[in-house]
């Protein structure tokens, strides 16, 4: 496309920042708006892993049995705001329906299409800029109490193997040789080589915003309240700072994209999957590489500012504060798995992962409106953000996609 367009990007998380940077590099005038500023939500508090291996959705074929076991166990890694259950039931019905084997394979393939080259995509986004310093190469270890526990997780690994992920197993005393801070009772690591992580997600987002400004884009703190459509096409975004005219718009506001989609006449089944982290400052020990704690269902990441333990699943509302049980759950497992860990302090955080019932994001144009979706990434927002932004920027710029975009169709929910 030869014509320079005026594009407004709504949402300054990783998807919005990536979309804005790639659009600016294509020669378009770009304004990025966010009510709280860059990286204030899930892009700040995530686990920081470039999870190229995270191709398996939560709703696998064993979901009904697993969910019943979790609900019967007060110490499970699954939590629910029961007051929100009536609003969640329609979404949960669709979520369970997508756990059929054929649907799961569709989801695995769709997720793989936007995550398996994540490190490469982050490097391409940041090469030669102030933001590249936050990307680190690393391996990833799945932490199991025993070889038997690893083998009991065979369904997950079967799906991972379809996308080329074959772990190297470390067992017995070799586990503590590989990761000295692990408790003696940890008997098996399933290690995936050649991945990466972010050393400080919040600082990374701030630097990406500066990269956009360095390259000629604008970053404005404003709340998007409506998308103005005339003749079927976007003409402006209405904000608390006034109306901002545009030729195209990108909606990348995470869970907050839902009310704006409603204003466009689309009822997207998007719920808040509430995620938590504990961030330990000045820790006495750090792992050599990031880990996934399989029993606790959370990630461990050695960062520039301390040790982050992030994860769990709590379904609920986006207008309620944090619950104590998920935070206690992480703390309990940290104490058990890292018995020698001491620290100066701990930060508690809760944020919202925007989750669809088919575990796939919405990427692409909404109808023929000139509004492009880039949200709904559930657990893989940081991982898939740069590629999502690159896809959306290419679509707006009139470039043909180099992957099948059907799994992410922004109009698939009607």
Torsion sign across C-alpha atoms 377, 189, 179, 344: positive
Residues 102 and 184 occupy one common structural domain: yes
Residues 368 and 349 occupy one common structural domain: no
Among 336, 355, 374, give the residue marking a domain's end: 355
pTM, to two decimals: 0.95
Tokens of 386: 């740069």
Query: What is the C-alpha R_g of the chain?
Result: 21
- pLDDT of 343: 97
Q: Which DSSP string corresponds to 326-376? A: HHHHHHHHHHHH-TT---SEEEEEEEEEEE-TTS--EEEESTTSSEEEEE-
Nearest partner of 204 among 304, 91, 73, 300, judged by Cα: 304
Residues 65 and 30 occupy one common structural domain: no
Residues 106 and 192 occupy one common structural domain: yes
- pLDDT of 128: 97
- pLDDT of 72: 67
Phi and psi of 227, rounded to 5°? -115, 120
SS (H, E, C) 5-47: CEEEEECCCHHHHHHHHHHHHCCCEEEEEECCCCCCCHHHHCC
Residues 262 and 321 occupy one common structural domain: no
- pLDDT of 2: 65
Residues 393 and 313 occupy one common structural domain: no
Domain of residue 125 covers: 51-198+276-355
Give pLDDT tens digits for 238-260. Answer: 999 999 999 999 999 999 999 99
CATH number at residue 394: 3.50.50.60
- pLDDT of 317: 81
Residues 152 and 208 occupy one common structural domain: no
Instruction: List b or e across 138-160, with b for residues whose CB sees 16 or more CB atoms inside 10 angstroms.
Output: bbbbbbbeeeeebeeeeebbebb
Residues 40 and 57 occupy one common structural domain: no
Cβ distance 307 to 300 under 8 Å? yes
Residues 55 and 135 occupy one common structural domain: yes
Tokens of 321: 């504060």
CATH number at residue 117: 3.30.9.10
Residues 332 and 232 occupy one common structural domain: no
Cβ distance 251 to 373 under 8 Å? yes
Q: Which residues of the chain have pLDDT under 70?
A: 1-2, 71-72
Tokens of 43: 């892009």
State the burial class of residue 370 (Cβ atoms within 10 Å of its Cβ: 0-12, 13-18, 19+).
buried
Residues 140 and 280 occupy one common structural domain: yes
C-alpha span between 395 and 115 (Å, rounded):
19
Phi and psi of 279, rounded to 5°? -115, 115
- pLDDT of 265: 85
Number of domains in the chain: 2
1 found inside a domain: no
Strands, sheet with 218-221, edge to edge from the N-terminal-most edge strand: 218-221, 29-34, 6-10, 248-251, 371-375, 362-365
């Amino acid at each position: 496309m030869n014509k320079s367009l005026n594009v407004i990007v709504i949402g300054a998380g990783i998807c919005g920042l990536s979309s804005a940077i790639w659009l600016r590099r294509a020669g378009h005038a770009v304004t990025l708006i966010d009510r709280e500023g860059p990286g204030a939500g899930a892009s700040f508090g995530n686990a920081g892993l470039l999870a190229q291996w995270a191709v398996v959705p939560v709703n696998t074929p064993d979901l009904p049995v697993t969910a019943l076991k979790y609900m019967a166990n007060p110490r499970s890694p699954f939590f629910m705001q029961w007051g929100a259950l009536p609003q969640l039931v329609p979404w949960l019905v669709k979520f369970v329906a997508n756990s059929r084997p054929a649907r799961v394979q569709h989801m695995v393939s769709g997720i793989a299409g936007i995550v398996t080259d994540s490190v490469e995509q982050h490097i391409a986004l940041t090469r030669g800029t102030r933001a590249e310093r936050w990307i680190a190469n690393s391996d990833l270890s799945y932490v199991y109490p025993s070889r038997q526990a690893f083998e009991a997780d065979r369904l997950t690994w079967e799906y991972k193997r379809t996308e080329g992920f074959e772990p190297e197993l470390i067992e017995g005393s070799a586990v503590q040789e590989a990761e000295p801070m692990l408790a003696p009772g940890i008997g098996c690591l399933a290690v995936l080589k050649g991945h990466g992580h972010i050393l400080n997600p919040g600082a990374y987002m701030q630097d990406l915003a500066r990269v956009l400004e360095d390259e000629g884009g604008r970053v404005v703190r404003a709340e998007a309240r409506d998308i103005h459509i005339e003749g079927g096409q976007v003409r402006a975004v209405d904000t608390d700072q006034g109306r901002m005219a545009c030729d195209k718009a990108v909606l990348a506001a995470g869970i907050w994209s839902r009310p704006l989609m409603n204003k466009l006449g689309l009822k997207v089944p998007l719920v808040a999957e509430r995620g938590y982290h504990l961030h330990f400052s000045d820790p006495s020990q750090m792992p050599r590489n990031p880990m996934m704690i399989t029993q606790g269902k959370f990630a461990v990441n050695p960062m520039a500012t301390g040790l982050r333990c992030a994860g769990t699943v709590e379904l609920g509302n986006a207008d309620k504060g944090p619950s104590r049980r998920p935070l206690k759950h992480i703390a309990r497992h940290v104490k058990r798995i890292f018995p020698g860990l001491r620290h100066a302090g701990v930060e508690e955080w809760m944020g919202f992962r925007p989750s669809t019932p088919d575990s796939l994001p919405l990427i692409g144009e909404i109808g023929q409106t000139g509004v492009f979706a880039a949200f709904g990434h559930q657990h893989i927002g940081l991982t898939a953000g740069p590629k999502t932004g690159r896809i959306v920027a290419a679509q707006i710029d009139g470039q043909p996609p180099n992957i099948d975009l059907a799994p992410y169709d922004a109009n698939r929910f009607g």
